[in-house]
A and B are shown apart, each in its own frame.
Chain A
């Protein structure tokens, strides 16, 4: 995997990696890709894709309300709150 791809993936994942970390990650990703290349070589002609190993077909629920969480419970884990909202660094100029 080339350094440009590592930079792109790091940016997408909002990770700020130093050069050492980039090299380490590059080696790890190369190994992962190698494993997937092995999988990709397997002949699956005529085999339907499998997305889940559990129940193949889901059972939807009824459109019935349940008691969710209270606002206080939910906001308790937030680093900052204001006016009943999550407060985050400004995302619009």
Chain B
């Protein structure tokens, strides 16, 4: 295939469930995994005469998301009915927003697979209610409907068709999720359905400006599957065009087990939703002062944090990426930096957070914010490493002990006898013993075998039960044996 002959054009529609306590238009709980139809009422099951009342916090979260995505926030917003029939939609319409969405145009900035900065436009991000869940037991003539999910607040985030490769789609989603999690808008957990994604894709001759006929892909249950389904669909469309055919506008579904997309419904069956303003809901105002207050309460966004870590703290980019992937980790690290003495070792602390503390939290299955270990204590431990009191190895043990109890770092070091022997005289005697005992290795080293030195350092560590300062042991050995490699 002539790879550069076509370019693909991709747009994504992402639905996220907002992290409210209750549903969008009623006080039923917004929770995952409850028994079927136990979080329902007359409103979310569409009983005659029941009226919706907007959840103010859902509106606030929608604004928060919009601000995190640089969207223009509407001064007035309203709701419309989207009409269609399906058993999981009890009213026969979904309350959504067509004309005056909460959030208008915005943009998302990320680095693509080629290392280039990309800015993808957001067309809009509007509020709507989720539908219920329909289950289709195998071999059954019935479907079963659970309306717990019906009425849960969703934000639909529609990108412009600005993405060009499946890899870019993946990176866009990753950055979108990170921002929404920073803003505490949604958990964005695809496995629990709190983030869902549909993809629109078309191809056109490279360099063309007109859009080709697009297909929409549904049933994408992970970011990797979005990427894979797009790659397959682009391949399929390219084959159709190269064989002289034309792409048909349709909705396709991703068959993960077979690694292909297949037709779900064609354009002729495409819905006509007959939107109209919902007469049950008035318009809502988003006063400038309120929007400003929401903006002021937003945390520093991950890209800004990352630039600060790399630029003013001198932290390596890869470490900064790990620290900023999750807001809790980044804020925990920020607390460490705040506790650092002037000229303290920010890089050492960053390495300890990414190398030890995050693993500790991960092992326990908790957020870093829920550890007993505090940022202040970690800073003390890094200080003990830096001044040679303990080794990096011992620091791991100390950190784990600190998380298990209420001791101070110095107490743990004392109790476990982890202090390094950094005293030249004390260590010198042991070094001499090791040199005397390992003639053969000493010979090798003098003969030019660099590795032999490591074996001797190991001997010193063994003789001191790991307490020797390995750096000092190495120096003393070299000094006594007369220079590196003889």
A-to-B contact residues, CB < 8 Å: 8, 12, 14, 51-52, 54-58, 60-66, 68-69, 71, 74-75, 77, 80, 82-92
- CA gap between A62 and B285 in the complex, in Å: 16
Are B283 and A65 closer than 8 Å at their CB atoms? Answer: no
- CA gap between A84 and B39 in the complex, in Å: 12
Q: What does the 1/0 interface line of B15-49 toward A look like (CB < 8 Å)?
A: 00000111000111100000111111110110100
- Apart from A61-B27, A86-B145, A90-B143, 9 more pairs, CB < 8 Å: A51-B78, A52-B279, A57-B76, A57-B282, A71-B38, A84-B35, A85-B144, A87-B142, A88-B87
Closest to B140 in A: A90
Are A65 and B29 closer than 8 Å at their CB atoms? Answer: yes
Are A65 and B141 closer than 8 Å at their CB atoms? Answer: no
Are A63 and B55 closer than 8 Å at their CB atoms? Answer: yes
Q: What does the 1/0 interface line of B418-432 toward A look like (CB < 8 Å)?
A: 000000000000000
Give the residue among B29, B36, B42, B281 with the most A Cβ atoms within 10 A.
Answer: B36
Q: Which residue in B36, B58, B87, B285 is a CB contact (below 8 Å) of A84?
A: B36
Name the distance in Å between B396's Cβ and chain A's nearest Cβ.
43
Question: Which residues of chain B have C-beta atoms less than 8 A from A57's C-beta?
Answer: 76, 282-285
Question: Which residues of chain B have C-beta atoms less than 8 A from A90's C-beta?
Answer: 136, 140-143
The answer to the question of B147 belonging to the interface, with a C-beta cut-off of 8 Å to chain A, is: yes
Are B85 and A14 closer than 8 Å at their CB atoms? Answer: yes
Q: Which residue in B45, B83, B274 is a CB contact (below 8 Å) of A74?
A: B45
Using a Cβ–Cβ cut-off of 8 Å, how many residues does chain B contribute to the interface with A?
Answer: 51
- CA gap between A64 and B26 in the complex, in Å: 9
Take A60-B56, A65-B29, A68-B26 as given contacts and tell me if A88 and B143 are in contact as well, using a CB distance cutoff of 8 Å.
Answer: yes
Take A65-B22, A68-B41, A82-B142 as given contacts and tell me if A52 and B53 are in contact as well, using a CB distance cutoff of 8 Å.
Answer: no
Are A85 and B145 closer than 8 Å at their CB atoms? Answer: yes
Question: Which residues of chain B have C-beta atoms less than 8 A from A83's C-beta?
Answer: 36, 144
Are A69 and B42 closer than 8 Å at their CB atoms? Answer: yes
Are A63 and B35 closer than 8 Å at their CB atoms? Answer: no
Question: Which residues of chain B have C-beta atoms less than 8 A from A85's C-beta?
Answer: 36-37, 135, 144-146
Are A91 and B26 closer than 8 Å at their CB atoms? Answer: no
Question: Which residues of chain B have C-beta atoms less than 8 A from A54's C-beta?
Answer: 282
Name the distance in Å between B159's Cβ and chain A's nearest Cβ.
28
Question: Which residues of chain B have C-beta atoms less than 8 A from A82's C-beta?
Answer: 142, 144
Name the distance in Å between B102's Cβ and chain A's nearest Cβ.
12
Name the distance in Å between B22's Cβ and chain A's nearest Cβ.
5
Are B283 and A51 closer than 8 Å at their CB atoms? Answer: yes
Name the distance in Å between B468's Cβ and chain A's nearest Cβ.
59
Take A62-B56, A86-B144, A88-B87 as given contacts and tell me if A56 and B282 are in contact as well, using a CB distance cutoff of 8 Å.
Answer: yes
Are B55 and A60 closer than 8 Å at their CB atoms? Answer: yes
The answer to the question of B116 belonging to the interface, with a C-beta cut-off of 8 Å to chain A, is: no
Name the distance in Å between B36's Cβ and chain A's nearest Cβ.
4
Question: Which residues of chain B have C-beta atoms less than 8 A from A77's C-beta?
Answer: 47
Name the distance in Å between A69's Cβ and chain B's nearest Cβ.
5
Name the distance in Å between B239's Cβ and chain A's nearest Cβ.
27
Closest 8 CB pairs of A and B: A60-B56, A68-B41, A66-B27, A63-B57, A58-B282, A85-B144, A86-B145, A84-B36
Name the distance in Å between A83's Cβ and chain B's nearest Cβ.
6
- CA gap between A51 and B341 in the complex, in Å: 60
Are B283 and A56 closer than 8 Å at their CB atoms? Answer: yes
- CA gap between A74 and B20 in the complex, in Å: 23
Q: What does the 1/0 interface line of B81-93 toward A look like (CB < 8 Å)?
A: 0010111000000
**30 A-B residue pairs with CB within 8 Å:** A8-B272, A12-B272, A51-B78, A51-B283, A52-B283, A56-B283, A57-B283, A57-B284, A60-B284, A62-B56, A63-B56, A64-B22, A66-B22, A66-B27, A68-B26, A68-B27, A68-B39, A68-B40, A68-B41, A69-B45, A71-B38, A74-B37, A82-B142, A83-B144, A84-B35, A84-B37, A85-B37, A87-B144, A89-B143, A92-B134
Take A64-B27, A65-B29 as given contacts and tell me if A74 and B136 are in contact as well, using a CB distance cutoff of 8 Å.
Answer: no
The answer to the question of B388 belonging to the interface, with a C-beta cut-off of 8 Å to chain A, is: no
Are B21 and A63 closer than 8 Å at their CB atoms? Answer: yes
Are A75 and B37 closer than 8 Å at their CB atoms? Answer: yes
Give the residue among B45, B57, B274 with the most A Cβ atoms within 10 A.
Answer: B45
Name the distance in Å between A48's Cβ and chain B's nearest Cβ.
10
Closest to B141 in A: A90
- CA gap between A54 and B44 in the complex, in Å: 23
The answer to the question of B384 belonging to the interface, with a C-beta cut-off of 8 Å to chain A, is: no
Question: Which residues of chain A have C-beta atoms less than 8 A from B142's C-beta?
Answer: 80, 82, 87-90
